[in-house]
């Protein structure tokens, strides 16, 4: 499982002109699910993200977690993170999970984050979405559950 974390001042996701998820200070999290991912990958990333110290303390050092700052998370599924781009000029997705499994693990990831006391908003799995992000920093990290 792969996650792109962006520290944001605010973020929202709009589908067909309607805002379906919106946060203020927190994390915009793009999630890609690989076909070999499972519950262990979900639990690992949720735990890591909930305690990942990427928010500034009073001395402007990255020393606080999303839990420490009472931040929220906007979680959006993005299968394109699982692209294989090595051959040719068009990406392929042979490593991405099938939609049923990907949606199941995506929903489980949201539930796991909530179990750490994080308020989570989300996009709609499989939908075309307009994502608005006001980066803070910018501060962006890519975490892969297979790189433990």
The residues annotated with a catalytic role in the active site are 78-80
From the list 58, 56, 76, the residue with the least C-alpha distance to 132 is 76
Pair of tokens at residue 137: 């920093």
CA 101/CA 82 separation, integer angstroms: 14
Q: Report how far apart the first and last C-alpha atoms of the chain are (Å, whole number).
A: 11
CB 118 within 8 A of CB 50: yes
Q: Residue-wise over 105-136: b if at least 16 C-beta within 10 A, else e? A: bbebbbebbeebebebbbbebeeebeeebeeb
């Amino acid at each position: 499982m792969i996650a792109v974390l962006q520290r944001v001042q605010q973020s929202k996701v709009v589908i067909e002109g309607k805002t379906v998820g919106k946060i203020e200070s927190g994390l915009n999290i793009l999630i890609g699910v690989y076909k070999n991912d499972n519950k262990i990958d979900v639990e690992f990333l949720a735990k890591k993200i909930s305690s990942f110290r990427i928010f500034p303390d009073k001395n402007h050092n990255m020393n606080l977690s999303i839990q420490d700052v009472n931040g929220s998370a906007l979680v959006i599924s993005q299968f394109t993170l699982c692209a294989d781009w090595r051959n040719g000029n068009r990406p392929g997705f042979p490593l991405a999970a099938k939609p049923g499994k990907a949606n199941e693990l995506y929903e489980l990831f949201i539930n796991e984050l909530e179990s750490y006391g994080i308020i989570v908003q989300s996009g709609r799995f499989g939908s075309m979405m307009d994502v608005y992000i006001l980066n803070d920093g910018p501060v962006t990290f890519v975490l892969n559950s297979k790189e433990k």
